[in-house]
Structure 1
Amino acid sequence: MDEAGIDWEDHPEYEEALYVLDGRMELEIPGERIVCGPGDLYVVPAGVPHRVLPGSHGLLLLIDR
């Protein structure tokens, strides 16, 4: 992750797991903001719009089908 963040996206056909290896991720889904640090895992359900907010930084592992 870099300071720019990742714009809104969704994956209608699969879940996406976001595992923070290092740093800090601020994830936004409609109506909620989730803050994750090293060792945290968040699974975005299929079809749910989400984005990584600017200012997030570090190493992120994305897992999907």
Structure 2
Amino acid sequence: MDDAAYPDESHDFDEALLVVDGQMNLDLSGQRVEVQAGEVFIVPAGIPHAVAPGSHGTLVIIDR
């Protein structure tokens, strides 16, 4: 993650987002959720989500 925003997307499957280091600012259906290093956030299938500005560090995306 490089401080830039990424556009909204949604999937027909759950998506796991693992922040290895840094912080991810996740826009989840209009609500901001901060995910810290070492945390995993599961985005349920069909929920629009985007990486918000100010996110930085290493993100691992786990898709089915």
**Same fold, TM exceeding 0.5?**
yes
- TM-score between both structures, scaled by the size of structure 1: 0.91
Q: Please give the residue correspondences for 1:1-65 in structure 2 after superposition, counting only pairs within 5 Å.
A: 1-11=1-11, 13-65=12-64
**Where do 4+ consecutive residues of structure 1 move more than 3 Å?**
none
Please, which runs of 5 or more residues in structure 2 have no aligned partner?
Answer: none
Give, as a single letter, the amino acid of the residue that structure 2 aligns with 1:3. D
Distance in 2, matches of 1:60 and 1:24, equals 9
Q: CA deviation at 1:31?
A: 3.9
Distance in 1, matches of 2:15 and 2:33, equals 15
- TM-score between both structures, scaled by the size of structure 2: 0.92
Distance in 1, matches of 2:51 and 2:59, equals 11
Report the number of matched residues. Answer: 64
